[in-house]
Amino acid sequence: MTGAEENFISNEPVAIDGNNERTLPSETLGLFAADAPEWLSMDTVAAKGHVRRAPEQEQGQLNAAVFENLDGTYSMHYFGTDIKYVDEQGCERDKSTRLKPVTSGEYAFAVEDNNIRSLYPAQLSQETGVLLTDGAITIDIRPDSAANDAAREQAVPAADARSDKRTAKNGADRDIDRMLYQGVFGAGTALRYTPTFEGLKEDIILERPTEINRFSFLIRTGGLAVESNETEYQFVDGDGEIVARVGSIEVFDSGDSGRLREEEAEYRHVFEIE
């Protein structure tokens, strides 16, 4: 259920149904801009001359979107992951990673407009974690500060939720919703969760040098088996189907150097099955 979307956008308009003659009025661009899906850059809209979403041309492709252009041709956008889902009424809807407040229970925010929902508690602790669910499968992720002596002594019993945003790097003219929990593994540490189309991205943030060097989590899978390959861990159901993945660890420096080289940092990714 985890992963980040990557997209490929066709460079040339494609003719559909032979409709290449009609010219649409430029004022329709304003209407489209107001309803643009979150994953589409408005720079792309201007560059490609898109004036209308054409769902009638998408033919049930959940990883593709078609737009009509100003000259009457169509452009199809392909993505490396599904950008749409089928709701309970059988209708195709655009996926969203927007966080919405939850008005009851122990969860404060949730991604609702997606077939893979993520829910974030008002207080993150070993008793209440982050949830990922598609309705049939639920995965519960909780910090386990007790697994490290220094973390156990310093960690807050329950970290309060705080939502924040960052500007999208892909030029999509929107802020990206995120959840932040301070002090989960002790002073100067934080956990940040960013919803994605297929789950979530987790960042362990070290705000200053710390003696804490082990960050453990309890993951309840509801009976899914765990398998691994060279790059990731996979959760497999009783039929042998991969239903969720935990990607490899990436370590970044907050300075200009960016991603750390292997000789600069040593880290291990280990699963223990209970």
Model pLDDT for residues 25-82, shown as the tens digit of each residue: 444 454 455 556 777 777 777 777 888 888 888 888 999 888 888 888 888 888 888 9
Position 218 pLDDT exceeds 60: yes
Residue 223, token pair as written in the block: 């009976």
Position 20 scores a pLDDT of 38
- Residues 59 and 23: their CA atoms lie apart, in Å, by 24
Position 150 scores a pLDDT of 53
- Residues 74 and 199: their CA atoms lie apart, in Å, by 31
Q: For residue 100, what are the β-bridge partners?
A: 110
For the chain, the average pLDDT equals 76
For residue 16, what pLDDT band results from cuts at 50, 70 and 90? Answer: very low
Q: What are the two backbone dihedrals, phi and then psi, of residue 74, each rounded to the nearest 5 degrees?
A: -125, 150
- Residues 139 and 132: their CA atoms lie apart, in Å, by 5
Position 49 scores a pLDDT of 81
Say which residue, 202 or 173, is predicted with more confidence: 202
Closest by alpha carbon to 30, among 46, 12, 14, 41?
46
Strands in 175-182's sheet, in edge-to-edge order, are: 123-124, 159-167, 175-182, 189-196, 199-206
Q: What are 93-104's pLDDT values in tens digits?
A: 999 999 999 876
Position 129 pLDDT exceeds 80: yes
- Residues 134 and 131: their CA atoms lie apart, in Å, by 10
User: Which residue has 């990557």 as its token pair?
Assistant: 6
Q: What are the two backbone dihedrals, phi and then psi, of residue 149, each rounded to the nearest 5 degrees?
A: -60, -45
The arithmetic mean of pLDDT across residues 135-149, rounded, is 83
Return the DSSP state at 249: P
Say which residue, 2 or 155, is predicted with more confidence: 155
Strands in 233-236's sheet, in edge-to-edge order, are: 225-228, 233-236, 242-246
What are the helix (H) ranges across the chain? 28-34, 42-48, 149-154
Position 182 pLDDT exceeds 50: yes
Position 201 scores a pLDDT of 93
Q: What are the two backbone dihedrals, phi and then psi, of residue 31, each rounded to the nearest 5 degrees?
A: -65, -40
CA distances from 169 to 82, 165, 166 (A): 20, 12, 9
Say which residue, 177 or 171, is predicted with more confidence: 177
Position 229 scores a pLDDT of 81
Residue 196, token pair as written in the block: 């994605």
Secondary structure (DSSP) of 4-42: ---EEE-SS-B--TT--S----TTHHHHHHHT--TTS-H
Q: What are 226-267's pLDDT values in tens digits?
A: 888 877 889 999 999 999 988 877 777 766 556 655 556 666
For residue 111, what pLDDT band results from cuts at 50, 70 and 90? Answer: very high
For residue 159, what pLDDT band results from cuts at 50, 70 and 90? Answer: low
The arithmetic mean of pLDDT across residues 170-188, rounded, is 74
Q: Which contiguous run of DSSP H or E holds residue 199?
A: strand 199-206
Position 186 scores a pLDDT of 83
How many other CB atoms sit within 10 Å of the CB of residue 47?
10
Position 1 pLDDT exceeds 80: no
